[in-house]
Structure 1
Amino acid sequence: MHLPVEDNAEFKGDTPKKTTTENGLMQQMLAMMQQTQNLLVQQEQQQQQRRLPTSDLIAAAF
C-alpha cells in the first residue's frame, strides 16, 4: 500500500519557507519597483515645473 507524502504547506497556519534565492530576488524586484516609482515621480515634478511658468505668463497677459 502506498502512503502519500505529506506537503508541509497542507497544514493550517504553515507556509512554506522561501529560499534565500527567492528572498534575494524579491528584494531586488522591490528595489527596482521603488526606483521606477521614484523616477516617475521625478518626471512628473519636472513636467509640472515646466508647465507652471507658461501658465503664469498666459494669465498675466490677460
Structure 2
Amino acid sequence: MFPDPHQRAEWQLPPSLLRHPAPHRLYLVEVDRWWLIDTRTWAEDRIDRRIEVPAAHLER
C-alpha cells in the first residue's frame, strides 16, 4: 500500500505483534485449484457454470 519506504516504515507493525497470541496475523495461502465462476444466470437456473483455470496459467 505504501511504495515509499519511509512512509511504509511509519505504518509497519513490528514482527512481534504478528506472532501468536497477537490479534493480527499473516497467512500464506497456497492455491491448488482455481475456478472462474459465471454467476450471470445462477439466480434463474441454478446451473453451476464454473470452469477450472489450469495452474500453469496462474504462474508468473
Fold match by TM threshold 0.5: no
Answer 1 or 2: which has greater helix percent.
1
Answer 1 or 2: which has greater strand percent.
2
TM-score class, shorter-chain normalisation, is under 0.3
Q: How does the TM-score come out when normalised to structure 2?
A: 0.20
Q: How does the TM-score come out when normalised to structure 1?
A: 0.20
Which structure has more RCO (C-alpha within 8 Å, separation ≥ 6)?
2
Find the structure with the greater CA-based Rg: 1
